[in-house]
C-alpha cells in the first residue's frame, strides 16, 4: 500500500539556507531553533491538530517532533525565557525558548508554519529536503 503523505508541510529551503539569509538574528533563532522546544507551543499544536501527525495522518502517541513548514521566518520579538529541560546529566537543566505565551502576535509565527509529526515522519521529511 502506498501512503499518501502531506508534502505541503515540507519546507522549501533548508535551515542552513535560511540561516545564510537571516544571519544570527535572535528573532530567527527563536523561530528556527527554539520555538519547537517550548512546552506551550508543543501543547498548542497537538490540540490544534487533534494529536494527528500532519505528514502521515496517523495519531501521535507519546513523543513527537515539530516540523517547520518554513525556516524563512522570524519571531515577532526577541525576548526569551528559560523552561525546565531535564536530562540524566542535568536533572535541573533549562533551555532558552521564545516567550510565546506572552506574545500578542503568537499565531502569526505558529499557525500554518509549524506541524506536529512522528519522529519517523520527520526523518522522512528531512530526506526529502536534503535530496533536492
User: Cα separation of 95 and 53, whole Å?
Assistant: 25
Region 81-98: mean pLDDT is 85
Q: What is the DSSP string of 21-59?
A: HHTT-HHHHIIIIIGGG-HHHHHHHHHHTTTB-TTT-PB
Task: Say how many CA atoms lie within 13 Å of 120 toward its Cβ.
Answer: 9
Q: What is the mean pLDDT of residues 81-102?
A: 86
What is the average pLDDT across 113-118? 96
% of the chain surpassing 90 pLDDT: 39
pLDDT of residue 12: 81
Of residues 61 and 89, more confidently modeled: 61
Q: Is the pLDDT of residue 2 over 60?
A: no
Is pLDDT of 106 > 60?
A: yes
Domain coordinates of the chain in residue numbers? 12-130
Joined grid coordinates for residue 107? 499565531
pLDDT above 60 for 1? no
Query: For position 92, what pLDDT does the model report?
Result: 86
Per-residue pLDDT tens digits for 17-75: 889 999 888 889 999 989 999 999 999 999 999 999 999 999 999 889 999 999 898 98
Amino acid at each position: 500500500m502506498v501512503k499518501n503523505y502531506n508534502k505541503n508541510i515540507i519546507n522549501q529551503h533548508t535551515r542552513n539556507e535560511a540561516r545564510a539569509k537571516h544571519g544570527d538574528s535572535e528573532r530567527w533563532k527563536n523561530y528556527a531553533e527554539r520555538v519547537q522546544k517550548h512546552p506551550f507551543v508543543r501543547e498548542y499544536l497537538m490540540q490544534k491538530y487533534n494529536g494527528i501527525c500532519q505528514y502521515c495522518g496517523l495519531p501521535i502517541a507519546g513523543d513527537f517532533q515539530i516540523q517547520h513548514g518554513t525556516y524563512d521566518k522570524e519571531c515577532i520579538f526577541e525576548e526569551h525565557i528559560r523552561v525546565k529541560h531535564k536530562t540524566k546529566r542535568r536533572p535541573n537543566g533549562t533551555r532558552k525558548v521564545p516567550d510565546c505565551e506572552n506574545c500578542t502576535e503568537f499565531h502569526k509565527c505558529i499557525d500554518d508554519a509549524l506541524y506536529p509529526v512522528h519522529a519517523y515522519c520527520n526523518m522522512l521529511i528531512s530526506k526529502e529536503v536534503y535530496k533536492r
